[in-house]
Amino acid sequence: MKSSEENHVSNEAPFAQFDNSYARLPDRFYVKRNPTPVSEPYLIKLNEPLARDLGLNPYDLKHHGAQILSGNKVPKGAEPLAMAYAGHQFGNFVRQLGDGRAILLGEVIDHAGNRRDIQLKGSGPTAFSRGGDGRAALGPVLREYIVSEAMHALGIPATRALAAVTTGDPVYRETVLPGAVVTRVAASHIRVGTFQFFAARGDEEAVRALADYAIKRHYPVCSAAENPYLAFYRAVCERQAGLIAHWLAVGFIHGVMNTDNMTISGETIDFGPCAFLDSYDPATVFSSIDHGGRYAYANQPGIGQWNLARLGETLLPLFDEDRDRAVNMANEVMAFYGERFQAEWLGRMRGKLGLLEAQDDDLELVQALLAAMQAGEMDFTLTFRRLADLCDGQPADVLTSLSKAPETLVGWISTWQARLQREEAASAERAKAMRKVNPAFIPRNHRIEQAILAAVQDADFSLFEALLDVLARPYEDQPRFATYQLPPEQDERVLQTFCGT
Do 402 and 371 lie in one domain? The reply is yes
Last residue in a domain, options 143, 169, 189: 189
Do 374 and 317 lie in one domain? The reply is no
Dihedrals phi, psi of 474, to nearest 5 degrees = -70, -20
Tell me whether residue 500 is in a domain: no
Q: Residue 14's pLDDT is what?
A: 66
Tell me whether residue 501 is in a domain: no
Enumerate residues 6+ apart whose C-beta is below 8 A from 132.
100, 101, 125, 501
How far is the C-alpha of 265 from the C-alpha of 327, rounded, in Å? 23
Q: Residue 5's pLDDT is what?
A: 41
Q: Residue 13's pLDDT is what?
A: 59
Dihedrals phi, psi of 77, to nearest 5 degrees = 95, -15
Do 322 and 280 lie in one domain? The reply is yes
Strand 74-75 to 9-10 pairing: parallel
pLDDT tens for 156-176 read 999 999 999 999 999 998 899
Tell me whether residue 272 is in a domain: yes
CA distances from 370 to 364, 367, 374 (A): 10, 5, 6
Name the amino acid, one letter, at 140: P
How far is the C-alpha of 499 from the C-alpha of 41, rounded, in Å? 23
Do 245 and 145 lie in one domain? The reply is no
Do 114 and 172 lie in one domain? The reply is yes
501 DSSP β-pair partners? none
Do 210 and 326 lie in one domain? The reply is yes
Do 15 and 137 lie in one domain? The reply is yes
pLDDT tens for 401-445 read 999 999 999 999 999 999 999 999 889 999 999 999 999 999 999
Do 109 and 217 lie in one domain? The reply is no
Last residue in a domain, options 163, 189, 215: 189
Do 201 and 334 lie in one domain? The reply is yes
User: Which pLDDT band, with edges at 50, 70 and 90, does 494 fall under?
Assistant: confident
Do 373 and 323 lie in one domain? The reply is no
Segments forming the whole domain that contains residue 417: 352-435
Tell me whether residue 497 is in a domain: no
As annotated, the active-site residues are: 260
How many other β-carbons are positioned within 10 Å of the β-carbon of residue 447?
Answer: 23
pLDDT tens for 45-82 read 999 999 999 999 998 999 889 999 999 999 999 999 99
Do 9 and 107 lie in one domain? The reply is yes
Tell me whether residue 498 is in a domain: no
**Do residues 196 and 314 lie in contact, with contact meaning Cβ atoms separated by under 8 Å?**
yes
Give the DSSP letter string of 295-336.
Answer: T-GGGHHHHHHHHHHHHHHHHHHHH-SSHHHHHHHHHHHHHH
Rg (CA), the chain: 23
How far is the C-alpha of 97 from the C-alpha of 100, rounded, in Å? 7
Q: Sort 282 into a burial class: Cβ within 10 Å, 0-12 / 13-18 / 19+.
A: middle
Tell me whether residue 405 is in a domain: yes
Tell me whether residue 430 is in a domain: yes
Tell me whether residue 440 is in a domain: no
- Region 330-340: mean pLDDT is 98
Do 328 and 451 lie in one domain? The reply is no
**What average pLDDT is seen over the chain?**
94
When divided into structural domains, the chain yields a total of: 4
CA distances from 393 to 169, 199, 410, 431, 486 (A): 56, 58, 16, 9, 22
Q: At what angle do helices 462-471 and 138-154 cross, to 10 degrees?
A: 20
How many other β-carbons are positioned within 10 Å of the β-carbon of residue 452?
Answer: 20
Last residue in a domain, options 155, 189, 223: 189
pLDDT for residue 344 is more than 60: yes
